[in-house]
């Protein structure tokens, strides 16, 4: 879902769920609002999910688990 090369995705996960550095998650692994991975998809809550991923207990609210 996050645009990144396959080798990076293998290290950090498709949603960068293995990244613990909050600044890195916020600056480099942001969920795009629009993404074309075989089909066009619009993610209305992408901005909200980006913030929730970096706050305490945010992953439990977005159901993105390491």
Torsion, CA 57, CA 14, CA 23, CA 33, rounded to 10: -90
Dmax (CA) of the chain? 33
Detail the DSSP E strand segments found in 1-66: 34-36, 40-42
pLDDT per residue as tens digits for the range 8-50: 989 988 888 888 888 888 788 877 777 666 666 777 777 777 7
Closest among 56, 61, 57, 53 to 18, alpha carbons compared: 53
pTM metric for this prediction: 0.56
Is the pLDDT score of 63 beyond 70? no
What sign for the dihedral angle of Cα 50, 51, 56, 60?
A: negative
Please give the Cα distance from 63 to 27 (Å, whole number). Answer: 20
């Amino acid at each position: 879902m996050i645009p990144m090369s396959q080798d990076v995705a293998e290290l950090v996960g498709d949603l960068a769920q293995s990244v613990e550095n909050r600044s890195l998650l916020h600056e480099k692994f942001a969920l795009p609002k629009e993404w074309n991975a075989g089909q066009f998809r619009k993610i209305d809550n992408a901005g909200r999910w980006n913030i929730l991923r970096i706050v305490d207990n945010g992953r439990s609210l977005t159901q993105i688990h390491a």
